Structure 1
Amino acid sequence: MIDEDFTRGLLEQHTFLTKVSHEDCLCLLCPPEHWVEIAKFLRNEETFELLADLTAIDQGEESEFRFTVVAHYYSRIHHDYLRIKCDCTDSLSPKIPSLSSIFPAADWHERETFDMFGIEFTDHPNLKRILMWDEYPYFPLRKEFPLAGIDTPLPADDVVEVTQASVEPAPMMGGPFVTSGSGPMSNSEPRAKDESWTEEVEKSK
């Protein structure tokens, strides 16, 4: 497990890092200009050889830094996770250096984050959408995107002709969905505010 000595040594050696209070694992905030540097150090010097996840958070337009990229590293030696967060300084055109040359697993994680949030990962070898089609005009995980989605025509005329389908808003099915910011990650999965559509809450007559 990551102990206080490890944390203290890491912060003393890399003074640009800032500790952020989290309950489940050690979390550090890193400036964009040191994002690649700390990833290399963690892999090469501190045995964090697995990039388990990379995603982003939209803090909202009113925030000083709207978009935050989050990476989770895992060490088989420490048997623990380390979370590194990085604020994108430009909220209108968010960007951050790619980690794909250090961790091959970052390739698809970064493409998905680009697809859902519109964050550019500079020096990525093939930064294009991975879930939506290239011409899709929205970023579905941004705050302004409605929970029910937006009715959008499919781009392929032949597919539309055969399926008679379009991308339509989905039923809310108990949404909006909320999550708790406290406790371990295993207990913070999103839950529907209205669960009357499930068997967990008795349906109203």
Structure 2
Amino acid sequence: MAEITNQELINALSAKFGGKVSGFDEPYGLLTLETTKDVIINVLTFLKEEAPAKFNFLTDITAVHYPGRKHAIAVVYHLHAMVQRKRIRVKVFIDEHHPEIPTATGLWLGANWMERETYDFFGIRFEGHPDLRRILNMDELGVHPMLKQYPLEDPNRVDKKDEYFGR
């Protein structure tokens, strides 16, 4: 079996989705691409069932918060084609004021827990998820701790004053 190249995957994705997939990059050889939330399920279905490498394993779903950007939250999917020993990263940038994206639980049952964790820490609502609720934090916690909305340190702490450190 010939090894599938990143360029073959780029060509297949571009032929199928055109401008809906973009931002192709290969940091450390890992093919990374960006798409939009309106076609994310179609892209993931294509990668799982039709692409030259069948990405049958969902390794992870997570997110990254980039404060100050128009679309400040990136939902990140890591997929693995076990037979072809190939990995791919798919990013979807969404608005932090309306953090919603379709669920991938219809493709991978394991997405259930990953999406719950991402919801718990980033507040991203996965539309159509069968049981979207907190998984690690307390239900009473009124914030999503991985969002960069709060100062890292309490400015009123007296043991952290610059004058104590000669600054």
Q: Structure 1-normalised TM-score?
A: 0.67
User: Letter of the aligned partner of 1:14 in structure 2?
Assistant: F
Cα distance between partner residues in 2 of 1:17 and 1:2: 19
Note if contact 2:10-2:24 (Cα within 8 Å) is conserved in structure 1: no
Q: What is the percentage of aligned positions where both structures have the same residue? A: 30
Note if contact 2:79-2:88 (Cα within 8 Å) is conserved in structure 1: yes
Please tell me whether residue 49 in structure 1 is matched to residue 56 in structure 2: yes
Moved over 3 A (4+): 145-149
Please tell me whether residue 83 in structure 1 is matched to residue 86 in structure 2: no
- Out of 62, 69, 73, the residue aligned to residue 79 of structure 2 is 73
Please tell me whether residue 17 in structure 1 is matched to residue 27 in structure 2: no
Cα distance between partner residues in 1 of 2:111 and 2:16: 25
Deviation string 1:46-86 (CA, Å, 9 cap, x unpaired) is 310000000001011x1011111000000023211111000
Cα distance between partner residues in 1 of 2:71 and 2:4: 29
More helix by share: 2
Aligned to 2:135: 130
1:116-155 correspondence runs (5 A): 116-147=121-152
C-alpha RMSD of the superposition: 1.7
Cα distance between partner residues in 2 of 1:141 and 1:2: 36
Structure 1's 148 and 125: CA in aligned 2 closer, same or farther, altered over 3 A? farther
Count of matched residue positions in the alignment of Structure 1 and Structure 2: 147
Q: Tell me, what secondary structure is at the counterpart of 1:32?
A: coil
- Out of 43, 64, 77, the residue aligned to residue 70 of structure 2 is 64
Aligned to 1:98: 103
Aligned to 1:171: none
In the alignment, structure 2 segments of 5+ residues that lack a partner are 155-167
Aligned to 1:114: 119
Deviation string 1:128-168 (CA, Å, 9 cap, x unpaired) is 0001121211111011245469xxxxxxxxxxxxxxxxxxx
Cα distance between partner residues in 2 of 1:94 and 1:6: 29
Aligned to 1:174: none
Deviation at 1:44, TM superposition (A): 1.3
Cα distance between partner residues in 2 of 1:116 and 1:145: 14
More strand by share: 2
Note if contact 1:66-1:91 (Cα within 8 Å) is conserved in structure 2: yes
Deviation at 1:96, TM superposition (A): 0.4
Deviation string 1:67-121 (CA, Å, 9 cap, x unpaired) is 1100000002321111100011x32121100001111111111101100011100
Cα distance between partner residues in 1 of 2:153 and 2:48: 40
Aligned to 1:6: 9
Note if contact 1:59-1:67 (Cα within 8 Å) is conserved in structure 2: yes
